[in-house]
Structure 1
């Protein structure tokens, strides 16, 4: 990938394509949003995250409750590879369990809050990439303004429930079809 504002960034190619969409008038807001969701899911090692989440779900669905669910949940996390996403999930889940929320409800809430946190963190990271691209001269002042505004709009449009649903099911292709380009001649960006 040789063009686009993120061409010199240390980002996967899917994020570099997203950078091109930020400054291109050909991409619709919906396309940018689906591309961002697809790229976020692509950043997750679902082979590591899914077994962790499945074990937590199995534990949360049990009929018998533990006297100290926090200890059990901490042990589950210790038995799986750490990652920023798993760490965020653990923080939210443990906080809810300490507030005496049932494990099932706590897991649902923790996953939703993790998705919201992840959306905010990713948005900020891409804002920083826009700033860096402007400083390197890879992005003009006008493209920078457009990129920052469109990045804000894109991440504001992401539904954390859809992202958390993709994580819960381990569906790496949850947003793939939505980003497929239409091949029709009459298809273009919305006015």
Structure 2
């Protein structure tokens, strides 16, 4: 990646594409939302998440409840791979269980909460990268203002339920962009 305001950042290529989209007037808000969701999903180890989520889902779907559902849930997290997303999911899930919610409802709300946390962190990280890019001269002042405003609009436009569904289904490419078609193919030849 050689162009765009984040060309000198340590962000993944998906986020660098998103950075280009922020300052590109030809990219729609919907396209930016799709790229942001694709970038968020790209940061999650989907195989590790699937293993963890399937275990949690199996527990939540059982008819018989544990005497200590909190300890049983903690043990599921303890035997699975740890990362910031699973930590957020655990925090939300345990809080919901302590509030007395049924395990299925607690898990659904915990996933929404963890995705919300992830989106908040991503939005803040991009804001920070815009500031850094402006400070080092990779982004003009006008692009900086445009980038911050579009970043805010983009993250406000994310459908958390769709992102949760992609995670539940293990669909890492749910928001992958399709190739843009060139609308000017030239004259038809007969």
After TM superposition, is the score higher than 0.5?
A: yes
- 1:22-41 pair list within 5 angstroms: 22-41=22-41
Cα distance in 2, alignment partners of residues 140 and 148 from structure 1 = 12
CA shift, 1:173, in A, is 1.2
- 1:13-162 pair list within 5 angstroms: 13-162=13-162
Q: CA RMSD in A?
A: 0.9
CA shift, 1:181, in A, is 3.5
Deviates more, 1:103-112 or 1:167-176: 167-176
CA shift, 1:50, in A, is 0.7
Cα distance in 1, alignment partners of residues 179 and 126 from structure 2 = 23
Query: Which residue does the alignment assign to 1:183?
Result: 181
**Runs (5+) with no aligned partner, structure 2:** 185-190
Cα distance in 1, alignment partners of residues 175 and 7 from structure 2 = 24
Query: Which residue does the alignment assign to 1:189?
Result: none
Scaled by the length of structure 1, what TM-score is found? 0.94
**Runs (5+) with no aligned partner, structure 1:** 187-191
Query: Which residue does the alignment assign to 1:172?
Result: 172
CA shift, 1:12, in A, is 0.9
CA shift, 1:184, in A, is 4.0
Cα distance in 2, alignment partners of residues 10 and 104 from structure 1 = 38
Q: For 1:180, what is the secondary structure of its paired residue?
A: coil
Deviates more, 1:165-174 or 1:79-88: 165-174
The runs of at least 4 aligned residues of structure 1 exceeding 3 Å deviation read: none
CA shift, 1:116, in A, is 1.2
Q: For 2:40, what is the secondary structure of its paired residue?
A: helix
Cα distance in 2, alignment partners of residues 182 and 145 from structure 1 = 27
- Larger Rg over CA atoms: 2
CA shift, 1:170, in A, is 1.1
Cα distance in 2, alignment partners of residues 123 and 182 from structure 1 = 25
